[in-house]
Amino acid sequence: MKRVVLVGGGYVTLHAYRQLARRLRGELRRGEVEIVVLSADDCHSFHGFTGEVLAGILPFDRTRTPLAQACPRARVLHARVTHIDPDGRRVRYLPVAPAGDSAAEVTLDYDQLVVGTGGREPVGTVPGLAEHGFTLRAPGHIRALSEHLQRVARPGPVLPDRSPGAGVPTWPGDSARSVVVAGGGIAGVELAAAIADFGRGGLEVHLVHSGDELLPELRADHPRLADRAEQELARLGVHTHRGVRLVAVSSLGAVLRDHSTELLPAGTVLGTIGQRPVQIPGLEQLPHDPRDRLVTRRDLSVAGGTWAAGDAALVEHPGTGRPVATNALWAIKGGAHVGRNVARTLRGRPTRRFRYRGLGQAASFGLGRSVATLYGIELTGEVAWVLRMAFFLRFMPSRRTALTVTLDLASRLTHRPVTDAPPARDGIPAVG
């Protein structure tokens, strides 16, 4: 029996699995091939709708699909991978045990390995972010942030929901309801807009960006869309601060630096400060780039029996030769291509080059409001929003969940207010 091990529970794993299950249907039925999924999270998190979750448009559970349900023909193991031996083709993992129980490390042989571990925010580069702030990529972080925002947006005194250190934070004025989002890329801009949309009149949102311009990756080729996005931020009352870097997070708020260093009091600090690939001991012997991504060949193999895609991999664009973006679309397409090539390898056929050239990018700013590019064509408003929704619904791991989300969105659109006036603000001073 041939064994394929998929490491991670994200887009790469799901779409590699789908191709393997489709192309190796007979081998799986006859027991000639086994697919094993190893993931530290027992559910797949669909990050495409993170903005809608934080804006209160969709419940958090709509973004979660149990991996056993998404990969029904695989053996799904809720476990943390501790070591991979790519030469001996062995993986060691520690099963995730119930609280209070312990589990012994297990060794598993494999024939083909797919690395889709994704990335995490480099919280170690910002002192205090891990202890006092929020990020998005680790298991459970989006739910924690969503529940925290619902709590602080309610009327009444705001008390800390965890122990950030000695003493109880006392924020000056109403700054407990101030939210700082660090990072002016698409993720930071979209999430700042979503939080402002959710907390209209109740939350004061600040977006800080170390560069001179927001959305540099969009502005380079589509400055009109970048300008439109900034107009949407202004409509929602988001305070933007350029040339300002988040240098630390404390229990009282965000420590920012431009020409000087000062504290912006805030009850919530969210770091969208880029990402670093999740590292697995044993893979360091394989080729990596300076950002610690596994360097892939043209067919997305890394070495004999090892494949990678998504945020953990350096994948070259087949046209430009530049690294592709680290987003869901490229992880989906990369994972599917790896799945096809692994199936071809197991059948003794030659692999094929990765030829996908991209579709576009999009950002949402509330119901019916988006900017998007589709094959270089610029779109705004409801057309861009509908296309963005259609793309995400197409790639949701569960058709039933996609239908439920469609009904949720249709209901929200039906009951959307006729006017969309900017929220009232109390005027917390800007910094930087």
- 363 touches 186 (CB < 8 A): yes
Enter the pTM of the model. 0.90
pLDDT at residue 101, rounded to an integer: 75
pLDDT at residue 431, rounded to an integer: 35
Quick one: which H or E segment has residue 34?
A: strand 33-39
| Mean pLDDT, residues 414-422 | 58
Q: How far is CA 63 from CA 58, 140, 311, 402, in A?
A: 9, 12, 19, 10
- 37 touches 13 (CB < 8 A): yes
Measured distance CA(311)–CA(294) in Å, rounded: 9
For the chain, domains (ranges, CATH) are: 2-118+276-347 (3.50.50.60), 123-155+170-271 (3.50.50.60), 360-413 (no CATH)
170: pLDDT strictly greater than 70 = no
Return the DSSP state at 192: H
163: pLDDT strictly greater than 60 = no
- The pLDDT-based confidence of 424 (bands split at 50, 70, 90) is very low
The residue that leads in pLDDT, 344 or 414, is 344
Looking at the chain, the whole-number percentage of residues with pLDDT higher than 90 is: 83
The per-residue pLDDT for range 340-384, each reduced to its tens digit, is 999 999 999 999 999 999 999 999 999 999 999 999 999 999 999
Which stretch of 135-149, 162-176, 377-391 has the lowest confidence by average pLDDT?
162-176
Q: How many residues does the chain have?
A: 432
Measured distance CA(321)–CA(319) in Å, rounded: 6
| Mean pLDDT, residues 264-286 | 95
Measured distance CA(424)–CA(430) in Å, rounded: 16
pLDDT at residue 169, rounded to an integer: 58
| Mean pLDDT, residues 82-95 | 98
Measured distance CA(111)–CA(1) in Å, rounded: 9
What is the rounded average pLDDT for all residues in the chain? Answer: 91
pLDDT at residue 414, rounded to an integer: 84
429: pLDDT strictly greater than 70 = no
pLDDT at residue 253, rounded to an integer: 95
175: pLDDT strictly greater than 60 = yes
| Mean pLDDT, residues 52-64 | 94
Measured distance CA(221)–CA(207) in Å, rounded: 22
122: pLDDT strictly greater than 60 = yes
**Encoding tokens for residue 40?**
């530290």
**How much of the chain is helix, strand and coil, in % rounded to 5?**
35, 25, 40
The per-residue pLDDT for range 281-302, each reduced to its tens digit, is 999 999 999 999 999 999 999 9
| Mean pLDDT, residues 99-117 | 91
Paired sense of beta strands 2-7 and 112-115, if any: parallel
| Mean pLDDT, residues 71-78 | 98
The residue that leads in pLDDT, 411 or 160, is 411
Which stretch of 3-7, 67-71, 420-424 has the lowest confidence by average pLDDT?
420-424
